[in-house]
Amino acid sequence: MDQPENKLGVVAGSRHTADTTDMEWHRHSRLPMSVKLHYPAPVGRHPLTPIEIRQRYIREVSDSSLVLWRSLAQGRFGFRAGIDELAWELPQVRSIEFSFCRPAKGGGNIVLCVHQPQARGVQLAFSSDRFEPALLDWFRPMLRLLAEMFPDRFAERDDGYDT
């Protein structure tokens, strides 16, 4: 069942409490065609995504919308869009960085990365090989949520114009 979105583009009733797990659930719209979710497995499933997230997604999302979720009880957070998933253990997240570059000679770009300890490095979560103001606007509700979830670990960087 689809639920109405609030002024941030997030579905009302976003916080979900299961019997044993406290889950935050924030539903966004579908990924724009030029935005790629960089899931690691060829089948899209990530081993850290809780079964509760998969079950709820199947029950409530029929249009492949992006969901940003967090479980403090399990110490994880991640994204799901359609069958594709990305997830991290909260203690392993050093920082989350959103950067964009406006077009000058090229098409510009938009990137969201999760920085982990050196052994794991930087993982690309989302990217687009072009910059458009509408794409930046699409990311804004998710960026506000990430800044709230990770106040000391979230950064946004404007890289100016590509050359």
Report phi then psi at 88, rounded to 5. Answer: -140, 155
Indicate the residue type of 119.
A
In this predicted structure, the answer to whether residue 12 has a pLDDT above a threshold of 70 is: no
> Which residues have CB under 8 Å from 54's CB, separation 6+?
45, 80
* Pick from 100, 103, 117, 112: nearest CA to 28: 112
Residues 6+ apart with CB under 8 A from 17: 23
pLDDT tier at 5, thresholds 50, 70, 90: very low
Query: pLDDT tens digits for 55-109?
Result: 999 999 999 999 999 999 999 999 999 999 999 999 999 999 999 999 998 899 9
What are 147's two structure tokens?
A: 């800044």
What pTM value is reported for the model? 0.84
**Both tokens of residue 106?**
């090229």
pLDDT higher than 60, residue 36: yes
Written as one letter, the residue type at 108 is: G
Question: How long, in residues, is the chain?
Answer: 163
